[in-house]
Every structure is written in structure tokens, then in C-alpha cells.
Structure 1
Amino acid sequence: MVTISSDFDSGNIIPFDISDPSNLELEIKPDGKADFYQWFYYRVDGAAGQPLTMRLKNAFGASYINGWKNYNAVASYNQESWFRVESSFDGRELTIKHAPDQDIVFYAYFAPYPTARHRAYVETLKASSLLSHQVIGRTLDGQSIDYFRAGEGTREFWVIARQHPGETMGSWWMEGFLDRLSDENNAAARTLLDKATVHILPCMNLDGVRRGHLRTNAAGKDLNRAWRNASMEDCPEVFLVRERMRETGVDFFLDVHGDEAIPNNFLDNAKGIPSWNDVHEKRFERYSSQLLEISKDFQTKDGYPASAPGQANLDVANSYVAETWDCLSMTLEMPFKDAAVNPDPARGWSPERCRHFAGEHLRVMADIANFLR
């Protein structure tokens, strides 16, 4: 008998009718106090040798319906190694087909990065002599908000991830970034830490992560639409980081995300803020062109359209930070699907590729630090 569950850290699925393994009817649960949904992560037991057909019946109402186009779900037997499985979308349902080799198998929208893994990783980082750790406050659910600082240079670099909890590629990217930043033998890290002080928030939205949300925190707030008016009552995660930024200043800001629909890595700048000028443009072009030169996984043709002059949404972190501190401020978007540039059909975009990509960003950060002011 096949059973399906998601009552664990970051889990999300509603078993609707699981009496027939060839026609398992499931639904994705929306964020608790908001209507967003697309993230799913669940466990199937008792399925070894059985061809499973899993139908996510409410996929047509997902927050980003174009995310299902040319998309394949991920599966794992050990939650460490994830691979792609056949998936299709008919305009209403996302259908996942797989015949697992083992009795227990996990399926997800992208390789999960639950709060338990975050906590374990934070503990390993605390042992680094190059990183200092601080809990800067608590989430609405009472989870500690972890902040790391490295270097003593004059440029103030800020790097954050997982404002949207379902965008787990942000945490895999952070692992690659922090592993290298804390490596005493990494030349790019040493160069960057000589020039800059780096401030890192590895996971902004821990409550949303644990609850299995796509975009929002425990109060149903989208953190990346809260930067102008965040309060301790509904968005302590943003409020506390913003206040710390006011203490240090910001010369460089990178906010790490994932995009459901666009099958490529890309950078979004803050064009459209009231103060946008040629200096902003040159900073962004320098970073983008250097990343393009060294990374096989980066491209500049696909991305978001620029906001009209003066029309950028200042509730978004990227635009708020650029306008407030007159600095290079960017959003990094990575795909849930395979990347059209440098594809890997077996794994698609993956944790391993996120970690590698982070190392390439670190090299560019080290190169451009002196150019920022």
C-alpha cells in the first residue's frame, strides 16, 4: 500500500485520493495566510517497483503557471542526491510519472533546503575563524535570524537569500558562497575580505521555509515587497536587516532568488529607481560583463523588462537598497527548470550547479570591489 506524507520541515502536499498508485491525486497547499502556491515536497512510502502517476490537480491555479512549461520535478531516495523525473502539464494538472527503485522516495519542486539543514550548516560555519556569527533577532515563530560577518575592508557588501522560502536554490548558492568565503586558501575570498566587510543573511524567511510556503512568512507577508514599510509586527526579518544596513551602509547588495518561468540564470538591476543614472548603469554592466566572461551558466538575453524611469517598486529589496544607499544593487535569479544555457537534462539546474555558480560570483565581487565608489 502506497502512503504519502508531508508533515515534516518544509513539506507541502495534500493527498486527495491515493488509493490507486497509477492515479494518485494530490493538491499543493497554499501559503498559510496568503494565496500563493507552487512549492511542493512530499514523501512516498511503499512504492518500490510500482509505476506511479501523481497528478497535482490544482496546478492550473499556481502562482506562476508558466513555471510548469518544460518543467520536470526532482526526486531523491536519500535527500542528498536529486534527479529529474518525467513531468507534464496539460493546462490544468501537473502529472509526475516515476517508477521508484526503493520503498521510500521524496519528490519536490526543487531540491529542498529545510530549516534543519540550515541550522546544521550554521553550526559548521561558527567554527570558521574568518566568520563571526550573531543572532540579530527572532522571527514571528521564534526562530533565530542568523547573520554572519567577514572581513574588515572599507567597502560594505551585503548578500542575502531565501526571502521567498520556496526558492531553495538560494540556500544551495549560499552554501557555495560561504564555503569559499570561509576557506583560508581561496584567493578570491582573501582578496574580497581585504577590500570589503561582507554581511551575510543565509536564510531570511525561516518561518516560511519550515511551513512549506512558496513566498510568504508566518504573517502571510512577501518579504520582498516589504522593504519600505517593514515592521517588527509583520516582517521582523526585513526590519532587522534594514536597521543593520543603516548602521553599516551599503556599497554592494545581492539578493539571491529563483524564477519559476525563465529557464536561465540572470541578474535584475534597479533601473527605474528615481536616482538611476550612468554611474548605476556602469556598475551593473561591469559586474554583469565580468560574470558573463567567466561563467558558462550565466547569460544576459533573458530576464525581466526594466521598469520605466522613476517607476521602480521601492518595496522590493533591490530597488529600495539601490535608492537608499546609491549603490550597486542586484537580484540574482536562478531557474527551477534546466537552464537553456549549458543544460544538464539529467539534473537540470541543481544544488551542485548553484554552489559552483556562487564561486564565480565571489570572483567577480573580489574584482569589482574597488570600482564601487
Structure 2
Amino acid sequence: MTQKNYLTGCVLLLFLNAGCTREMYNPDSRPHEFPNYVDTETRPVQYQEKKTYVTAQGVSASNQFNGARLNDFEAENDSTFTVSIEPENTPINPSPWYAFKLWSETPRKVYLNIDYHNGKHRYLPKLSYDGRVWTDLDSNLIIKRGGNVQFPLNLSQDTLWVAGQELFTTEHLRGWLAEIKRKSPETKMDTYGKSTLGRPLYTASLFEKNKGQNEIIVLMSRQHPPETTGQLAFLHFVERLLEEDPLTEKFKQKYQVLLFPMQNPDGVDLGHWRHNAGGIDLNRDWDRYNQPETRQMAKYLVEFANKNQARVIMGLDFHSTYEDVYYTNNSDTASAYPDFTNVWLNEIKRAIPDYEPNISPSNVGQPVSKGWFFVRFNAVGITYEIGDDTPRDFIKTKSRIAAEKMMEVLLNDE
């Protein structure tokens, strides 16, 4: 059966043919439907050696924390030091993540070279003295040398954290989940399996209802480890849904939200550029399910929907790239909510002065999550991308408005 005929048949018979419904909700018993094949069989990865580097000049560096990426550290002279950054494997998307700690036995100004292997500089350095509060390095201080960079830093015995973005690791995630559970006790926490290296894969259910009374919206994030701005957008979006007001009260009477806040915990904690511990881009594995993270999420979502006699109507996947953009499916017009995407994005535009959404629609091609939501569930699928350098206050503002407008559009569509 061709992809077009299969999709058409399942869309028409979704509510009438129980067999077709089972086929759409079972990730393991259907033909491969994405036209652009991607090999997602496990590949070897290079693990960085976790250590503290001590130089004769009294300057030290460390990668002994979750989220770190530092492959080597050496002194060029008394004031210049080189950090080597390598990916987990190749070929790989150019997202050269770095994160390390620095300190000096005596106060001094140093010049730091970042030498990228198989990549070039992308992320503006962020600095912190506690790993929680971060500031941008003045971009005027950065000297570009081909794909590498050099910039000055003032060091002392106090530890200075240097990273491509703010850190948000599995430790931060556990703290955030505990906080939303405290604020919203009815939130149901769960795990949907373990990662390649055995880390828990967390999920949470908001506004869970009785069987047959709800439709499911899926929010997911962090398939790609360096994409912290997408993670921040996800957090703000969810936090708006959990506020108590007439809009959210009405919304949660009909809709249920299922969270998958960190799809790639191994990659995040290991400081990977892109891949999981199996050396694969998880957002190309939504067809073959070769990696445990995608396979277990698909299985959990299928079983959750069936158990609750509910249907998945939407999947929003939060990512980061060079600029804010919404990647959408041309096929959304044939989804369960055919007008949602255009109406929602227009409402966001109307709510933010002088804002013009950057929208990039495409046909179902590679096996990415937004296409998977449509192919598997006839649901709206959108990749919600935030720019690497998008101001953090705007990330919060836009994400809160996006959550509000999603609720309003869905409620108005009843």
C-alpha cells in the first residue's frame, strides 16, 4: 500500500474502523511510511575522559560535572590556554557544545582558545560562578580565527563555569518536576523506560481525565543536548498551562497534556553535540525505532492513549536553532484539527507587537517527530524552534503567549 493511500484510508476510517485505529497506534506493526530513509542503527561514540586538568602555570580546568564537554586543556604560554572540543562521533550536525570549569591559583587575566574538531564556533559563551545564574560574555571580546575563537577571561581561585548555553541537566529536570508537582499536586509523574545508559526517561500527565473524555496534546523537548533555549521555551509553556485562571480551568476540563521533557538524558549529561549514547540523532528515528528512547516513548504514548480511550491530536516538539522558526507539516490541513496551525500562529502574531512568525512548512520526508505525529495519529505536528541567542525574557513571553493561544484556539474550535 502506498503512503498516500494508507494515510487517506486511516484518516477516513479513524473513528469507524477499529482495525485501522489499532494499526495507527501500534508503532511496531506497520509499514515504514517515511519516504526519506535514515539509518539509525547504533554507532560507536567517543566518550571524553572525565578529569581535572592542572597546568604548571597554576590554571586548571575540569569537565567533572553533568553536561560538561572538554576533551583537552593545555597551556600555550603563561597567559594563553587552549580548550579542545570534539564531538561524540561523526558525521554530525554542527552544534559544537562546550562546558567546563576554570580557576587559577592566583588572580590573573588569561586568553582562552577554543579549538573545535569537526566543527566551528556557534554558541556565544555563557559565564557563571555557581552553575545557576549565567551571563553572556561580551561578544566584542571574541576574536574569530577560522572556525575557532579566542577571548579573555579573568580568573581567580573562585570557580568560573564557561558553557555554550545555560546548563539544564537531568539534575535540573528532577528539580523542575518536583516543583511542578508541588504547585500542581494532581500532576501524575511517571517514567516510560530507561535511556541507553540506564537513565530514567521521565514523563508527566497534566489534567488526566476519565476514559473517553479527553484528547491528548504531547509536549516534548531535548532530543538534541545543546538545545537549551528550546528547553526553556518548553518549561515556560508548561508553567503557563499549570496556572490557575478561567482559561486553564476550562481547558483542562477537556484536554490532557502529556510531557516528555528530556528525550535524550544521556546526551545531555554527557555533553554531546547532537546524538544519544547510541551515536544517533533521535529526531531521525521516528520510523525504525532503533534507539530505546524513541522506541519506548512511542510505545508509552500508544499504550497511554489506548488505556485512556483517547486520541492524540497534537505534538509540539521544542528545539533550538540559529533563529526562531516554526517547522510545520503541509499535511496538517488533513489532520484532526486542520485549521489549528495557521490560526494559532496568527493569534501569536496578533498578541506580540511587531512580531512576524517565521514559518517553514514541508511535506513528510525524513522520520522526524512532527511528521511522526501526523503519520501515526493524524495529529498536528509542529517543531517549535528557538534561536540560540533569542533573549531569555522574549523566550518566556512568547512561550506563555503560545500556550495561552493554543488553549484559546482549541476551546474556540469546539
TM over 0.5: yes
Alignment of 1:214-253 (within 5 A): 214-231=273-290, 235-247=291-303, 248=305, 249-253=311-315
- Choose from 156, 168, 172 the match for 2:216: 156
- Choose from 103, 108, 115 the match for 1:57: 115
Give the superposition deviation at 1:20: 3.8
State the alpha-carbon separation in 1 of the partners of residues 146 and 336 from structure 2. 45
Q: Structure 1 residues 21, 109: CA separation in 2 closer, same or farther (over 3 Å shift)? A: farther
Q: State whether residues 48 and 103 of structure 1, in contact with CA within 8 Å, keep that contact through their aligned partners in structure 2.
A: no
- Aligned partner of 1:130 in structure 2 is 186
Instruction: Provide the alpha-carbon RMSD of the alignment.
Output: 2.8
Q: Deviations over 1:213-251 (max 9, x none)?
A: 1211111111100001113xxx22211221233342321
- Choose from 348, 352, 356 the match for 1:291: 348
Farther-moved stretch of structure 1 (153-162 vs 41-50): 41-50
State the alpha-carbon separation in 2 of the partners of residues 360 and 366 from structure 1. 10
Identity of matched residues, %: 18
Q: Structure 1 residues 27, 132: CA separation in 2 closer, same or farther (over 3 Å shift)? A: same
Alignment of 1:95-174 (within 5 A): 95-99=150-154, 103-127=158-182, 128-151=184-207, 152=209, 154-174=214-234
Question: Max radius of gyration: which structure?
Answer: 2
Q: Structure 1 residues 93, 198: CA separation in 2 closer, same or farther (over 3 Å shift)? A: same
Give the superposition deviation at 1:278: 9.5
Q: State whether residues 16 and 27 of structure 1, in contact with CA within 8 Å, keep that contact through their aligned partners in structure 2.
A: yes
Q: State whether residues 47 and 103 of structure 1, in contact with CA within 8 Å, keep that contact through their aligned partners in structure 2.
A: no
SS in 1 for 2:410: helix
Q: State whether residues 17 and 24 of structure 1, in contact with CA within 8 Å, keep that contact through their aligned partners in structure 2.
A: yes
SS in 2 for 1:119: helix
Give the superposition deviation at 1:252: 1.2
How many residue pairs get aligned? The number is: 342
> What is the TM-score with the length of structure 2 in the denominator?
0.74
- Aligned partner of 2:317 in structure 1 is 255
| Alignment partner of 1:14 is 2:66 | no
SS in 1 for 2:130: coil
Q: State whether residues 237 and 400 of structure 2, in contact with CA within 8 Å, keep that contact through their aligned partners in structure 1.
A: yes
Q: State whether residues 131 and 182 of structure 1, in contact with CA within 8 Å, keep that contact through their aligned partners in structure 2.
A: no
Give the superposition deviation at 1:173: 2.4
State the alpha-carbon separation in 2 of the partners of residues 205 and 286 from structure 1. 31
Q: Which runs of 5+ in 2 are unaligned?
A: 1-57, 306-310
State the alpha-carbon separation in 1 of the partners of residues 354 and 250 from structure 2. 23
Q: State whether residues 139 and 207 of structure 1, in contact with CA within 8 Å, keep that contact through their aligned partners in structure 2.
A: yes
Q: Structure 1 residues 197, 363: CA separation in 2 closer, same or farther (over 3 Å shift)? A: same
Give the superposition deviation at 1:32: 5.4
Q: Structure 1 residues 216, 357: CA separation in 2 closer, same or farther (over 3 Å shift)? A: same
Q: Which amino acid aligns with 1:46?
A: S
Alignment of 1:308-323 (within 5 A): 310=363, 312-323=364-375
Q: Deviations over 1:4-36 (max 9, x none)?
A: 111210100123423546422112131258645
- Aligned partner of 1:343 in structure 2 is none
| Alignment partner of 1:177 is 2:237 | yes
State the alpha-carbon separation in 2 of the partners of residues 163 and 21 from structure 1. 40
Q: State whether residues 58 and 93 of structure 1, in contact with CA within 8 Å, keep that contact through their aligned partners in structure 2.
A: yes
Give the superposition deviation at 1:99: 2.9
- Choose from 202, 216, 223 the match for 2:261: 202
- Aligned partner of 1:366 in structure 2 is 407
Give the superposition deviation at 1:297: 9.2
- Choose from 62, 85, 98 the match for 1:28: 85
Q: Which amino acid aligns with 1:72?
A: L
SS in 2 for 1:79: coil
Q: State whether residues 101 and 159 of structure 2, in contact with CA within 8 Å, keep that contact through their aligned partners in structure 1.
A: yes
State the alpha-carbon separation in 2 of the partners of residues 203 and 254 from structure 1. 13
Q: Which runs of 5+ in 1 are unaligned?
A: 340-348
- After superposing on structure 2, the runs of 4+ consecutive aligned residues of structure 1 that deviate more than 4 Å are 32-37, 275-281
Give the superposition deviation at 1:174: 3.0
Alignment of 1:85-100 (within 5 A): 85=137, 86=139, 87-99=142-154
Q: State whether residues 157 and 250 of structure 1, in contact with CA within 8 Å, keep that contact through their aligned partners in structure 2.
A: yes
| Alignment partner of 1:300 is 2:357 | yes
State the alpha-carbon separation in 1 of the partners of residues 101 and 76 from structure 2. 16
Q: Structure 1 residues 133, 43: CA separation in 2 closer, same or farther (over 3 Å shift)? A: same
Q: State whether residues 22 and 51 of structure 1, in contact with CA within 8 Å, keep that contact through their aligned partners in structure 2.
A: yes
SS in 2 for 1:250: strand
Q: State whether residues 170 and 258 of structure 1, in contact with CA within 8 Å, keep that contact through their aligned partners in structure 2.
A: yes
Q: State whether residues 107 and 157 of structure 2, in contact with CA within 8 Å, keep that contact through their aligned partners in structure 1.
A: yes
Q: Structure 1 residues 5, 229: CA separation in 2 closer, same or farther (over 3 Å shift)? A: same
